[in-house]
Chains A and B, each alone.
Chain A
Amino acid sequence: MATETTLEITLEVARYRPGVDTEPTLQSYQVPLREHWAILDGLTYVKDHLDGTLSFRWSCRMGICGSCGMTVNGEPQLSCATFLTDYAPGPIRVEPLRNFPVVRDLVVDIDDFMTKLPKVTPWLVREVQSPVEDGEYLQTPEELDEYQQYSMCINCMLCYSACPVYSLEPDFLGPAAIALAQRYNLDSRDEGADERRDVLSSPEGIWACTFVGECSAVCPKGVDPAGAIQRYKLTAATESIKELLMPRSRSRR
């Protein structure tokens, strides 16, 4: 495939060296334009053949691990699932994800999300744990269907990168954390909805969201965090009204 190797495309990559640079600068690299190469392959080529100092995160290379999120021509993308040929003839601008502090080059610091995530108790909560001998907690396909969409989240942070609310109000719990809370709230085996309610219904929770909808637009797994947040707004509002009318009963969801 001689013609394939001769074609090239320019990657304009944001470089930031902590302690040396005050802000990122763009550096251009010529990489082979191959049909099956994703942006991540282009970056790996740069790292292996052109400039070993370039830093970026990646792991599975198949849209599962959520490590390689970057801003490609201004859009948050998984760099392993975004192909060079779609941007031909280029150049392609590759920058770190927006709304996160840049540690180096294309590597961002996601500690903020990692601190927020456990606050929504993203695991199955049972009031009484049944012993292992009793077997699995059974679930019908319909019950699985209720939350499966939200369980597809890979914590890639593209939704946080696209969310202007998160950029303006860094205390906002954020799209993925709320979608993951809903993933458990809507799970028939879970009994932790009450536990999650105070965090989700706080001003930093669902009510901070103004439904821009970009989190869902950029989600590579079709999770629809914006939908999850709006659905929970309805749930929270209904619960509050119920509590006002019937103060003694606090239902599960």
Chain B
Amino acid sequence: MSVYQRPIHLLWWLERRAYVLFVLRELSSVFVAWFVVFLLLLVNAISDGAASYQRFVDWSGQWWVVAINVIAMVFVLLHVVTWFGLAPRAMAIKVRGRRVPARQVVAAHYLAWLVLSAVVAWLVLR
């Protein structure tokens, strides 16, 4: 039997808005990895002493590093927002026999994010 198999286009992900958002979310992982590398470089620079730290700060201040970090932040925010939005679908939490509403699960994620950020800010700025 001869059947027709539709070929997969290179730009298949432009077909639907949801696909575009999905591909952007997948792509955001690269920027999450970049932030990890950036953080490790910072820690390494600090451990090497004041001069090394100053070099790192100067390097970080260059326009293209700032540009990369701004783009990375946008993608990381996209990553966080989309994942938090999807969390209630995976988490069927029950309290006293009733399923916790999706909004509360999302809210709990944002709250945890806020608390963790506050703890980190306190550690860094104190």
Chains A and B form a bound pair: yes
Contact partners of A212 in chain B: CB under 8 A? 18-19, 22
**CB-based nearest B residue for A103:** B3
Query: Within the complex, what minimum Cβ distance (angstroms) separates B80 from chain A?
Result: 15
Contact partners of B22 in chain A: CB under 8 A? 164, 210-213
Q: How many A-B contacts are there with CB distance less than 8 Å?
A: 62
Q: Which of A74, A98, A99, A224 contacts B89 (CB 8 A)?
A: A224
Contact partners of B16 in chain A: CB under 8 A? 74, 214
Identify which of A79-87, A194-202, A229-237 touches chain B. Answer: A229-237
| A 66-82 binary contact with B (CB < 8 Å = 1; else 0) | 00000000100000000
B123 within 8 A of A: no
**Do the beta carbons of A101 and B19 come within 8 Å of each other?**
no
**Do the beta carbons of A168 and B4 come within 8 Å of each other?**
no
**Do the beta carbons of A210 and B6 come within 8 Å of each other?**
no
Q: Which of A16, A18, A21, A226 contacts B1 (CB 8 A)?
A: A18
Contact partners of A18 in chain B: CB under 8 A? 1-4
| A 14-34 binary contact with B (CB < 8 Å = 1; else 0) | 001011011110000000000
Contact partners of A167 in chain B: CB under 8 A? 8, 12
CB contact list, A96-133 vs B, under 8 A? 98-99, 101-103, 109
Q: Which of B2, B12, B13 contacts A19 (CB 8 A)?
A: B2
Give Cα A167 to B6, complex, Å.
10
**Do the beta carbons of A230 and B19 come within 8 Å of each other?**
no
B15 within 8 A of A: yes
**CB-based nearest A residue for B99:** A145
Contact partners of A102 in chain B: CB under 8 A? 3-6
A164 with B97, Cβ < 8 A, contacts A103-B3, A224-B89 known: no
Q: Which of B4, B12, B92 contacts A16 (CB 8 A)?
A: B4
A211 with B18, Cβ < 8 A, contacts A24-B4, A103-B1, A164-B13 known: no
Contact partners of B19 in chain A: CB under 8 A? 164, 212, 214
Give Cα A166 to B13, complex, Å.
13
CB contact list, B6-63 vs A, under 8 A? 6, 8, 12-13, 15-16, 18-19, 22, 26
A217 within 8 A of B: yes
A91 within 8 A of B: no
Contact partners of A230 in chain B: CB under 8 A? 86, 89-90
A142 within 8 A of B: yes
**CB-based nearest B residue for A75:** B16
Query: Within the complex, what minimum Cβ distance (angstroms) separates B99 from chain A?
Result: 9
User: Interface residue count for A (Cβ, 8 Å)?
Assistant: 32
Query: Within the complex, what minimum Cβ distance (angstroms) separates B93 from chain A?
Result: 10
**Do the beta carbons of B15 and A74 come within 8 Å of each other?**
yes
CB contact list, B46-96 vs A, under 8 A? 86, 89-92
A227 within 8 A of B: yes
Give Cα A226 to B1, complex, Å.
33
Contact partners of A231 in chain B: CB under 8 A? 89-92
**CB-based nearest B residue for A230:** B90
**Do the beta carbons of A101 and B4 come within 8 Å of each other?**
yes
A101 with B3, Cβ < 8 A, contacts A164-B22, A227-B89 known: yes
Contact partners of A23 in chain B: CB under 8 A? 4
Query: Within the complex, what minimum Cβ distance (angstroms) separates A126 from chain B?
Result: 24
Give Cα A25 to B21, complex, Å.
31
Contact partners of B90 in chain A: CB under 8 A? 227, 230-231, 233-234
Query: Within the complex, what minimum Cβ distance (angstroms) separates B27 from chain A?
Result: 12
